Amino acid sequence: MSLRDIPAMHRLLGEPRIAGFSALLGPRTVKDAIDDVVEPIRRSAGNSDSVVPPFDAIVAAVCARLSVTEREGLLEVINGTGILLHTNLGRAPLAREAVDAIGSVASGYSNLEFDLETGARGSRYERIGGLLSELSGAEDGLVVNNCAAAVLLILDTFAKNREVVIGRNQLIEIGGGFRLPDVLKRSGAVLVEVGTTNKMYVRDFEQALTPRTALLFRSHQSNFQIEGFVSDVAPAELVRLGRRAGIPVVEDLGSGALVDLADYALPHERTVIEAVRDGVDLVAFSGDKLLGGPQAGLIVGSKPMIARLRANPLLRALRVDKATLAALGATLRLYLEPEGTKRIPLYAMLAQSVEALRERAAQIQTRLGEHAKHVRIADSEAYAGGGTLPMARLASAALAIRAPRSDPNALAAALRRERPPIVSRIVGDELLLDLRTIRPDQDESVAATLRRRLEKNSADS
Protein backbone atom coordinates (compact mmCIF):
# COMPACT_ATOMS: atom_id res chain seq x y z
CA MET A 1 0.00 0.00 0.00
CA SER A 2 1.07 3.59 -0.37
CA LEU A 3 1.12 6.40 2.15
CA ARG A 4 -0.94 8.39 -0.32
CA ASP A 5 -3.89 6.05 0.24
CA ILE A 6 -4.12 7.18 3.88
CA PRO A 7 -6.71 9.95 4.20
CA ALA A 8 -5.22 13.33 5.09
CA MET A 9 -5.86 14.97 8.47
CA HIS A 10 -7.87 17.85 6.97
CA ARG A 11 -10.12 15.45 5.11
CA LEU A 12 -10.88 13.51 8.29
CA LEU A 13 -11.38 16.72 10.29
CA GLY A 14 -13.85 17.91 7.65
CA GLU A 15 -15.81 14.68 7.64
CA PRO A 16 -19.20 15.61 9.19
CA ARG A 17 -19.39 12.57 11.50
CA ILE A 18 -16.03 13.55 13.00
CA ALA A 19 -16.49 17.33 12.84
CA GLY A 20 -19.48 17.05 15.19
CA PHE A 21 -17.11 15.96 17.94
CA SER A 22 -14.98 19.10 17.63
CA ALA A 23 -17.70 21.25 19.10
CA LEU A 24 -18.23 18.74 21.90
CA LEU A 25 -14.67 17.87 22.89
CA GLY A 26 -12.47 20.50 21.28
CA PRO A 27 -10.31 20.22 18.11
CA ARG A 28 -7.18 19.08 19.90
CA THR A 29 -8.88 15.98 21.32
CA VAL A 30 -10.29 15.18 17.87
CA LYS A 31 -6.87 15.55 16.21
CA ASP A 32 -5.31 13.29 18.82
CA ALA A 33 -7.97 10.65 18.19
CA ILE A 34 -7.33 10.79 14.45
CA ASP A 35 -3.59 10.43 15.06
CA ASP A 36 -4.21 7.47 17.34
CA VAL A 37 -6.12 5.72 14.57
CA VAL A 38 -4.04 6.77 11.59
CA GLU A 39 -0.52 6.42 13.03
CA PRO A 40 -0.54 2.61 13.30
CA ILE A 41 -1.78 2.46 9.70
CA ARG A 42 0.99 4.79 8.59
CA ARG A 43 3.60 2.75 10.45
CA SER A 44 2.59 -0.48 8.77
CA ALA A 45 2.48 1.18 5.35
CA GLY A 46 5.94 -0.20 4.58
CA ASN A 47 4.81 -3.81 4.81
CA SER A 48 4.04 -5.18 1.41
CA ASP A 49 1.01 -7.16 2.60
CA SER A 50 -0.69 -4.33 4.50
CA VAL A 51 -3.78 -2.59 3.17
CA VAL A 52 -5.22 0.77 4.10
CA PRO A 53 -8.68 0.28 5.60
CA PRO A 54 -11.55 1.89 3.69
CA PHE A 55 -12.21 5.55 4.46
CA ASP A 56 -15.47 4.68 6.24
CA ALA A 57 -13.74 2.19 8.52
CA ILE A 58 -11.19 4.81 9.53
CA VAL A 59 -13.97 7.32 10.25
CA ALA A 60 -15.83 4.71 12.30
CA ALA A 61 -12.69 3.91 14.31
CA VAL A 62 -12.11 7.61 15.05
CA CYS A 63 -15.76 8.07 16.06
CA ALA A 64 -15.64 5.02 18.33
CA ARG A 65 -12.55 6.41 20.05
CA LEU A 66 -14.16 9.82 20.47
CA SER A 67 -17.44 8.54 21.83
CA VAL A 68 -15.53 6.74 24.57
CA THR A 69 -13.73 10.00 25.37
CA GLU A 70 -17.02 11.83 25.43
CA ARG A 71 -18.32 9.49 28.08
CA GLU A 72 -15.21 9.61 30.19
CA GLY A 73 -16.80 12.06 32.58
CA LEU A 74 -18.08 10.80 35.91
CA LEU A 75 -20.89 8.33 35.20
CA GLU A 76 -23.45 6.55 37.25
CA VAL A 77 -22.66 2.83 37.32
CA ILE A 78 -24.66 -0.13 38.57
CA ASN A 79 -22.72 -1.91 41.29
CA GLY A 80 -23.17 -5.65 40.97
CA THR A 81 -20.02 -6.50 42.93
CA GLY A 82 -21.71 -6.98 46.28
CA ILE A 83 -19.15 -4.63 47.84
CA LEU A 84 -21.23 -2.02 49.61
CA LEU A 85 -18.59 0.65 50.22
CA HIS A 86 -16.57 0.21 47.05
CA THR A 87 -13.94 2.96 47.15
CA ASN A 88 -13.38 2.76 43.38
CA LEU A 89 -17.12 3.16 42.82
CA GLY A 90 -17.46 6.17 45.11
CA ARG A 91 -18.07 4.51 48.51
CA ALA A 92 -21.40 5.31 50.17
CA PRO A 93 -24.36 6.24 47.98
CA LEU A 94 -26.13 9.26 49.43
CA ALA A 95 -29.62 9.38 50.90
CA ARG A 96 -32.33 11.16 48.93
CA GLU A 97 -32.37 13.78 51.69
CA ALA A 98 -28.63 14.42 51.25
CA VAL A 99 -28.95 14.72 47.47
CA ASP A 100 -31.86 17.14 47.85
CA ALA A 101 -29.88 19.19 50.34
CA ILE A 102 -27.02 19.48 47.85
CA GLY A 103 -29.46 20.52 45.15
CA SER A 104 -30.98 23.27 47.22
CA VAL A 105 -27.72 24.89 48.32
CA ALA A 106 -25.64 24.21 45.23
CA SER A 107 -27.69 26.00 42.60
CA GLY A 108 -27.86 29.27 44.49
CA TYR A 109 -26.46 31.09 47.49
CA SER A 110 -26.61 29.81 51.05
CA ASN A 111 -25.93 30.94 54.60
CA LEU A 112 -22.66 28.97 54.48
CA GLU A 113 -20.70 31.53 56.51
CA PHE A 114 -23.45 33.97 57.24
CA ASP A 115 -25.40 34.44 60.45
CA LEU A 116 -29.01 35.13 59.50
CA GLU A 117 -29.79 36.54 62.97
CA THR A 118 -27.11 39.18 63.11
CA GLY A 119 -26.34 39.59 59.41
CA ALA A 120 -22.68 39.16 60.27
CA ARG A 121 -20.15 36.60 59.22
CA GLY A 122 -20.79 33.12 60.64
CA SER A 123 -18.83 29.89 60.75
CA ARG A 124 -19.32 27.13 58.25
CA TYR A 125 -18.56 24.61 60.96
CA GLU A 126 -21.05 25.65 63.61
CA ARG A 127 -24.18 23.80 62.51
CA ILE A 128 -22.35 20.53 61.93
CA GLY A 129 -20.53 20.82 65.26
CA GLY A 130 -23.85 20.80 67.11
CA LEU A 131 -25.17 17.79 65.19
CA LEU A 132 -21.95 15.88 65.72
CA SER A 133 -21.93 16.42 69.45
CA GLU A 134 -25.62 15.49 69.65
CA LEU A 135 -24.98 12.19 67.87
CA SER A 136 -21.62 11.24 69.35
CA GLY A 137 -21.94 12.50 72.89
CA ALA A 138 -18.76 14.54 72.46
CA GLU A 139 -18.58 18.20 73.42
CA ASP A 140 -17.89 19.47 69.92
CA GLY A 141 -17.09 18.44 66.38
CA LEU A 142 -15.37 19.60 63.21
CA VAL A 143 -15.46 18.56 59.54
CA VAL A 144 -12.61 18.43 57.03
CA ASN A 145 -12.11 16.85 53.61
CA ASN A 146 -11.62 13.22 54.63
CA CYS A 147 -10.36 11.16 57.50
CA ALA A 148 -6.78 11.34 56.23
CA ALA A 149 -7.03 15.14 56.45
CA ALA A 150 -8.53 14.85 59.93
CA VAL A 151 -5.55 12.83 61.14
CA LEU A 152 -3.13 15.24 59.49
CA LEU A 153 -4.81 18.25 61.10
CA ILE A 154 -4.75 16.64 64.53
CA LEU A 155 -1.07 15.73 64.28
CA ASP A 156 -0.12 19.11 62.88
CA THR A 157 -1.98 20.90 65.65
CA PHE A 158 -0.84 18.89 68.64
CA ALA A 159 2.24 16.92 67.74
CA LYS A 160 4.49 18.99 65.49
CA ASN A 161 8.12 18.31 66.50
CA ARG A 162 6.87 16.27 69.40
CA GLU A 163 6.38 12.57 70.01
CA VAL A 164 3.34 10.45 69.23
CA VAL A 165 3.22 7.04 70.86
CA ILE A 166 1.54 4.31 68.85
CA GLY A 167 1.38 0.51 69.07
CA ARG A 168 3.17 -1.58 66.46
CA ASN A 169 -0.08 -3.42 65.78
CA GLN A 170 -1.60 -0.19 64.50
CA LEU A 171 0.87 1.18 62.00
CA ILE A 172 -1.67 0.71 59.29
CA GLU A 173 -1.77 1.21 55.58
CA ILE A 174 -5.19 1.69 54.09
CA GLY A 175 -6.06 2.04 50.42
CA GLY A 176 -4.98 4.98 48.30
CA GLY A 177 -1.52 5.33 49.80
CA PHE A 178 -2.47 6.35 53.32
CA ARG A 179 0.24 4.94 55.57
CA LEU A 180 0.02 6.13 59.11
CA PRO A 181 3.80 6.26 59.71
CA ASP A 182 4.19 8.40 56.57
CA VAL A 183 1.38 10.77 57.55
CA LEU A 184 2.99 11.14 60.96
CA LYS A 185 6.32 11.99 59.39
CA ARG A 186 4.72 14.48 57.00
CA SER A 187 3.04 16.28 59.84
CA GLY A 188 6.37 16.80 61.57
CA ALA A 189 5.51 14.48 64.44
CA VAL A 190 8.01 12.00 65.78
CA LEU A 191 6.72 8.44 65.74
CA VAL A 192 7.43 6.38 68.83
CA GLU A 193 6.55 2.73 68.18
CA VAL A 194 5.84 0.52 71.15
CA GLY A 195 4.98 -3.14 71.77
CA THR A 196 5.08 -5.84 69.14
CA THR A 197 2.91 -6.71 66.16
CA ASN A 198 0.78 -9.14 68.15
CA LYS A 199 1.18 -8.15 71.82
CA MET A 200 0.55 -4.74 73.31
CA TYR A 201 0.43 -3.81 76.97
CA VAL A 202 -0.40 -0.52 78.63
CA ARG A 203 3.06 -0.54 80.22
CA ASP A 204 4.54 -0.37 76.71
CA PHE A 205 2.91 3.03 76.35
CA GLU A 206 3.78 4.08 79.88
CA GLN A 207 7.48 3.32 79.43
CA ALA A 208 7.57 5.38 76.24
CA LEU A 209 6.36 8.60 77.85
CA THR A 210 8.82 11.47 77.86
CA PRO A 211 8.48 15.24 78.38
CA ARG A 212 8.22 15.47 74.59
CA THR A 213 5.21 13.14 74.32
CA ALA A 214 2.32 14.98 72.70
CA LEU A 215 -0.27 12.28 72.06
CA LEU A 216 -1.17 8.66 72.67
CA PHE A 217 -2.47 7.47 69.33
CA ARG A 218 -4.77 4.60 68.54
CA SER A 219 -5.74 3.53 65.09
CA HIS A 220 -8.53 1.22 64.10
CA GLN A 221 -7.37 -2.00 62.42
CA SER A 222 -9.84 -1.25 59.66
CA ASN A 223 -8.83 -3.52 56.86
CA PHE A 224 -7.09 -6.42 58.56
CA GLN A 225 -7.22 -8.57 61.63
CA ILE A 226 -4.51 -10.11 63.78
CA GLU A 227 -5.45 -13.47 65.22
CA GLY A 228 -3.80 -16.02 67.45
CA PHE A 229 -1.40 -15.17 70.28
CA VAL A 230 -2.52 -11.57 70.65
CA SER A 231 -3.34 -8.94 73.22
CA ASP A 232 -4.23 -5.32 72.75
CA VAL A 233 -4.68 -2.35 75.04
CA ALA A 234 -8.31 -1.46 75.57
CA PRO A 235 -8.98 2.16 74.64
CA ALA A 236 -10.36 2.92 78.10
CA GLU A 237 -7.09 1.68 79.60
CA LEU A 238 -5.12 3.96 77.33
CA VAL A 239 -7.36 6.84 78.36
CA ARG A 240 -6.67 6.10 82.03
CA LEU A 241 -2.95 6.26 81.34
CA GLY A 242 -3.40 9.46 79.34
CA ARG A 243 -5.33 11.10 82.18
CA ARG A 244 -2.69 10.10 84.73
CA ALA A 245 0.09 11.46 82.55
CA GLY A 246 -1.82 14.49 81.31
CA ILE A 247 -1.50 13.43 77.66
CA PRO A 248 -4.46 13.41 75.26
CA VAL A 249 -5.54 10.20 73.56
CA VAL A 250 -6.47 10.34 69.89
CA GLU A 251 -8.27 7.58 68.02
CA ASP A 252 -8.33 7.25 64.25
CA LEU A 253 -11.52 5.23 63.95
CA GLY A 254 -11.78 5.31 60.17
CA SER A 255 -15.03 3.49 59.58
CA GLY A 256 -17.09 5.72 61.85
CA ALA A 257 -20.27 3.78 62.60
CA LEU A 258 -22.94 5.54 64.65
CA VAL A 259 -25.15 2.46 64.93
CA ASP A 260 -24.52 -1.07 66.13
CA LEU A 261 -23.82 -3.23 63.09
CA ALA A 262 -24.82 -6.30 65.06
CA ASP A 263 -28.37 -5.17 64.25
CA TYR A 264 -27.55 -5.93 60.62
CA ALA A 265 -26.16 -9.43 61.07
CA LEU A 266 -22.62 -8.08 60.99
CA PRO A 267 -19.94 -8.31 63.67
CA HIS A 268 -20.11 -5.48 66.14
CA GLU A 269 -17.93 -2.58 65.03
CA ARG A 270 -16.64 -0.07 67.55
CA THR A 271 -18.85 3.00 67.23
CA VAL A 272 -17.99 6.67 67.52
CA ILE A 273 -20.24 6.83 70.59
CA GLU A 274 -18.24 4.07 72.29
CA ALA A 275 -14.96 5.82 71.57
CA VAL A 276 -16.32 9.04 73.10
CA ARG A 277 -17.72 7.15 76.08
CA ASP A 278 -14.30 5.56 76.65
CA GLY A 279 -13.00 9.09 77.16
CA VAL A 280 -10.92 9.35 73.98
CA ASP A 281 -10.08 13.05 73.63
CA LEU A 282 -10.34 13.27 69.84
CA VAL A 283 -11.98 10.73 67.53
CA ALA A 284 -11.47 10.95 63.75
CA PHE A 285 -13.62 9.08 61.22
CA SER A 286 -14.78 9.10 57.61
CA GLY A 287 -18.03 10.54 56.30
CA ASP A 288 -18.42 8.07 53.45
CA LYS A 289 -17.76 4.75 55.16
CA LEU A 290 -20.17 3.33 57.73
CA LEU A 291 -21.73 6.75 58.28
CA GLY A 292 -23.18 6.50 54.77
CA GLY A 293 -22.64 10.15 53.87
CA PRO A 294 -20.44 12.23 51.58
CA GLN A 295 -16.64 12.15 51.54
CA ALA A 296 -15.59 14.00 54.67
CA GLY A 297 -13.39 13.66 57.72
CA LEU A 298 -15.10 14.16 61.03
CA ILE A 299 -13.45 14.92 64.32
CA VAL A 300 -15.31 14.88 67.63
CA GLY A 301 -13.94 15.55 71.06
CA SER A 302 -13.35 18.01 73.83
CA LYS A 303 -14.25 21.66 73.27
CA PRO A 304 -10.79 23.09 73.92
CA MET A 305 -9.09 20.61 71.62
CA ILE A 306 -11.60 21.16 68.79
CA ALA A 307 -11.11 24.92 69.30
CA ARG A 308 -7.38 24.49 68.77
CA LEU A 309 -8.00 22.52 65.58
CA ARG A 310 -10.29 25.30 64.35
CA ALA A 311 -7.59 27.86 64.98
CA ASN A 312 -4.99 25.98 62.92
CA PRO A 313 -4.38 27.82 59.61
CA LEU A 314 -3.99 24.42 57.91
CA LEU A 315 -7.76 23.98 58.31
CA ARG A 316 -8.18 26.48 55.49
CA ALA A 317 -6.54 24.05 53.08
CA LEU A 318 -8.65 21.13 54.26
CA ARG A 319 -12.00 22.83 54.38
CA VAL A 320 -15.13 21.31 52.92
CA ASP A 321 -17.48 22.96 50.46
CA LYS A 322 -21.16 23.78 50.81
CA ALA A 323 -22.31 20.67 48.93
CA THR A 324 -20.46 18.41 51.35
CA LEU A 325 -21.77 20.28 54.38
CA ALA A 326 -25.33 20.13 53.07
CA ALA A 327 -25.15 16.40 52.36
CA LEU A 328 -23.42 15.66 55.63
CA GLY A 329 -25.91 17.69 57.65
CA ALA A 330 -28.85 15.95 55.98
CA THR A 331 -27.29 12.52 56.56
CA LEU A 332 -26.57 13.23 60.22
CA ARG A 333 -30.11 14.49 60.77
CA LEU A 334 -31.43 11.13 59.54
CA TYR A 335 -29.70 9.50 62.51
CA LEU A 336 -31.73 11.73 64.82
CA GLU A 337 -35.05 10.68 63.28
CA PRO A 338 -36.78 7.50 64.36
CA GLU A 339 -36.36 4.98 61.52
CA GLY A 340 -34.23 7.58 59.74
CA THR A 341 -31.28 5.18 59.38
CA LYS A 342 -33.39 3.09 57.01
CA ARG A 343 -33.31 5.95 54.54
CA ILE A 344 -29.53 5.88 54.38
CA PRO A 345 -28.78 3.67 51.34
CA LEU A 346 -25.98 1.75 53.06
CA TYR A 347 -28.35 0.63 55.84
CA ALA A 348 -31.22 0.01 53.43
CA MET A 349 -28.89 -2.34 51.51
CA LEU A 350 -27.76 -4.04 54.71
CA ALA A 351 -31.33 -4.50 55.91
CA GLN A 352 -32.56 -6.42 52.85
CA SER A 353 -33.26 -10.07 53.58
CA VAL A 354 -31.65 -12.75 51.44
CA GLU A 355 -35.17 -13.93 50.51
CA ALA A 356 -36.06 -10.49 49.17
CA LEU A 357 -32.81 -10.43 47.16
CA ARG A 358 -33.53 -13.90 45.73
CA GLU A 359 -37.02 -12.76 44.81
CA ARG A 360 -35.63 -9.75 42.91
CA ALA A 361 -33.09 -12.01 41.18
CA ALA A 362 -35.92 -14.33 40.12
CA GLN A 363 -37.88 -11.42 38.69
CA ILE A 364 -34.92 -10.26 36.65
CA GLN A 365 -34.36 -13.81 35.43
CA THR A 366 -38.00 -14.07 34.32
CA ARG A 367 -37.65 -10.89 32.28
CA LEU A 368 -34.85 -12.51 30.26
CA GLY A 369 -37.36 -14.73 28.46
CA GLU A 370 -35.69 -17.52 26.47
CA HIS A 371 -32.27 -16.31 27.65
CA ALA A 372 -33.10 -17.11 31.27
CA LYS A 373 -31.49 -20.51 30.72
CA HIS A 374 -28.04 -18.90 30.80
CA VAL A 375 -28.67 -17.51 34.25
CA ARG A 376 -29.09 -19.14 37.63
CA ILE A 377 -29.87 -17.65 41.00
CA ALA A 378 -26.90 -18.25 43.24
CA ASP A 379 -26.02 -17.81 46.88
CA SER A 380 -23.52 -15.04 47.22
CA GLU A 381 -21.50 -13.22 49.82
CA ALA A 382 -21.47 -9.44 50.03
CA TYR A 383 -18.77 -7.40 51.72
CA ALA A 384 -18.80 -4.10 53.57
CA GLY A 385 -15.71 -2.89 51.65
CA GLY A 386 -14.08 0.51 51.89
CA GLY A 387 -11.55 -0.81 54.35
CA THR A 388 -14.21 -1.71 56.90
CA LEU A 389 -15.07 -5.09 58.41
CA PRO A 390 -12.57 -7.05 56.29
CA MET A 391 -13.62 -10.42 57.69
CA ALA A 392 -17.37 -9.97 57.58
CA ARG A 393 -19.34 -11.87 54.96
CA LEU A 394 -22.92 -10.93 54.40
CA ALA A 395 -25.22 -13.61 53.02
CA SER A 396 -26.59 -12.42 49.70
CA ALA A 397 -28.10 -13.53 46.39
CA ALA A 398 -26.79 -13.08 42.88
CA LEU A 399 -27.54 -13.72 39.25
CA ALA A 400 -24.85 -16.12 38.03
CA ILE A 401 -24.45 -15.82 34.28
CA ARG A 402 -22.77 -18.02 31.71
CA ALA A 403 -23.19 -16.33 28.38
CA PRO A 404 -23.05 -18.50 25.26
CA ARG A 405 -19.73 -18.18 23.41
CA SER A 406 -18.30 -15.70 25.87
CA ASP A 407 -15.95 -16.18 28.77
CA PRO A 408 -16.90 -14.28 31.92
CA ASN A 409 -14.15 -11.70 31.44
CA ALA A 410 -15.44 -10.79 27.99
CA LEU A 411 -18.98 -10.56 29.32
CA ALA A 412 -17.83 -8.39 32.23
CA ALA A 413 -16.07 -6.05 29.78
CA ALA A 414 -19.18 -5.87 27.62
CA LEU A 415 -21.32 -5.00 30.64
CA ARG A 416 -18.90 -2.25 31.61
CA ARG A 417 -19.32 -0.75 28.16
CA GLU A 418 -23.09 -0.56 28.59
CA ARG A 419 -24.77 2.69 29.67
CA PRO A 420 -25.22 2.76 32.56
CA PRO A 421 -22.21 0.48 32.95
CA ILE A 422 -22.71 -2.61 35.08
CA VAL A 423 -19.78 -3.67 37.26
CA SER A 424 -19.76 -7.34 38.20
CA ARG A 425 -17.75 -9.98 40.00
CA ILE A 426 -16.33 -13.16 38.50
CA VAL A 427 -16.34 -16.40 40.44
CA GLY A 428 -14.95 -19.42 38.61
CA ASP A 429 -16.43 -19.47 35.13
CA GLU A 430 -19.50 -17.44 36.04
CA LEU A 431 -20.20 -13.75 36.14
CA LEU A 432 -22.03 -12.69 39.28
CA LEU A 433 -24.35 -9.76 39.77
CA ASP A 434 -24.97 -9.41 43.47
CA LEU A 435 -28.42 -8.03 44.19
CA ARG A 436 -27.47 -6.48 47.52
CA THR A 437 -25.62 -3.57 45.95
CA ILE A 438 -28.05 -3.11 43.05
CA ARG A 439 -30.80 -0.60 43.87
CA PRO A 440 -34.25 -2.12 43.37
CA ASP A 441 -35.08 0.66 40.93
CA GLN A 442 -32.13 -0.47 38.80
CA ASP A 443 -33.47 -4.02 38.41
CA GLU A 444 -35.34 -3.18 35.25
CA SER A 445 -32.30 -1.60 33.63
CA VAL A 446 -30.21 -4.65 34.61
CA ALA A 447 -32.80 -7.00 33.10
CA ALA A 448 -33.03 -5.02 29.85
CA THR A 449 -29.24 -4.79 29.50
CA LEU A 450 -28.72 -8.48 30.22
CA ARG A 451 -31.40 -9.46 27.78
CA ARG A 452 -29.88 -7.37 25.04
CA ARG A 453 -26.43 -8.73 25.81
CA LEU A 454 -27.51 -12.37 25.83
CA GLU A 455 -29.54 -11.87 22.66
CA LYS A 456 -26.45 -10.50 20.96
CA ASN A 457 -24.26 -13.33 22.22
CA SER A 458 -26.78 -15.92 21.00
CA ALA A 459 -27.05 -14.22 17.60
CA ASP A 460 -23.24 -14.13 17.26
CA SER A 461 -22.91 -17.83 17.97
Ligand X SMILES: *Cc1c(COP(=O)(O)O)cnc(C)c1O
In the complex, the smallest distance separating the C-beta of residue 245 from ligand X, rounded to whole angstroms, is 24
Task: For 147-182, give the DSSP string.
Answer: HHHHHHHHHHHH-TTSEEEEEGGG--EETTTEEHHH
Which residue spans within 302-414 are E strands per DSSP? 375-382, 394-401
> Among 7-15, 200-208, 250-258, 450-458, which window interacts with ligand X (CB under 6 A)?
250-258
Which residue spans within 58-139 are E strands per DSSP? 78-79
Cα–Cα distance list, 406 to 81, 311, 370 (Å): 19, 60, 17
- Residue 143 · residue 169 · CB < 8 Å: no
Assess 254 for contact with ligand X (CB under 6 A).
yes
CA distance 335 to 98: 12
CA distance 178 to 171: 11
Residue nearest ligand X, CB atom distance: 254
Binder of ligand X out of 82, 235, 293, 297 (CB under 6 A): 297
By beta-carbon proximity to ligand X, the closer residue of 44 and 221 is 221
- Residue 377 · residue 399 · CB < 8 Å: yes
Assess 174 for contact with ligand X (CB under 6 A).
yes
In the complex, the smallest distance separating the C-beta of residue 109 from ligand X, rounded to whole angstroms, is 28
- Residue 388 · residue 85 · CB < 8 Å: yes
Structure-derived torsion over alpha carbons of residues 369, 375, 377, 379, reported in degrees to the nearest 10: -160
By beta-carbon proximity to ligand X, the closer residue of 66 and 83 is 83
By beta-carbon proximity to ligand X, the closer residue of 220 and 436 is 220
- Rule CB under 6 A: which of 381-410 touch ligand X? 387
Cα–Cα distance list, 35 to 11, 26, 65, 78 (Å): 13, 15, 11, 33
> Among 145-153, 192-200, 373-381, 423-431, which window interacts with ligand X (CB under 6 A)?
145-153
- Residue 417 · residue 408 · CB < 8 Å: no
Binder of ligand X out of 178, 217, 335, 347 (CB under 6 A): 178
In the complex, the smallest distance separating the C-beta of residue 336 from ligand X, rounded to whole angstroms, is 23
Assess 349 for contact with ligand X (CB under 6 A).
no
Binder of ligand X out of 65, 86, 218, 220 (CB under 6 A): 220
By beta-carbon proximity to ligand X, the closer residue of 345 and 387 is 387
Q: Is 286 helix (H, G, I), strand (E, B) or coil?
A: strand
In the complex, the smallest distance separating the C-beta of residue 255 from ligand X, rounded to whole angstroms, is 6
Task: For 191-202, give the DSSP string.
Answer: EEEES-SSB--H
In the complex, the smallest distance separating the C-beta of residue 155 from ligand X, rounded to whole angstroms, is 12
Assess 187 for contact with ligand X (CB under 6 A).
no
In the complex, the smallest distance separating the C-beta of residue 47 from ligand X, rounded to whole angstroms, is 51
Assess 255 for contact with ligand X (CB under 6 A).
yes
CA distance 381 to 374: 21
Assess 222 for contact with ligand X (CB under 6 A).
yes
> Among 30-38, 142-150, 375-383, 444-452, which window interacts with ligand X (CB under 6 A)?
142-150
> Among 10-18, 204-212, 214-222, 404-412, which window interacts with ligand X (CB under 6 A)?
214-222
Residue 380 neighbours by CB distance under 10 Å:
24
Counting residues that bind ligand X (by CB under 6 A) gives: 14
Contact residues for ligand X, defined by CB under 6 A? 146-148, 174, 178, 219-220, 222, 252, 254-255, 286, 297, 387
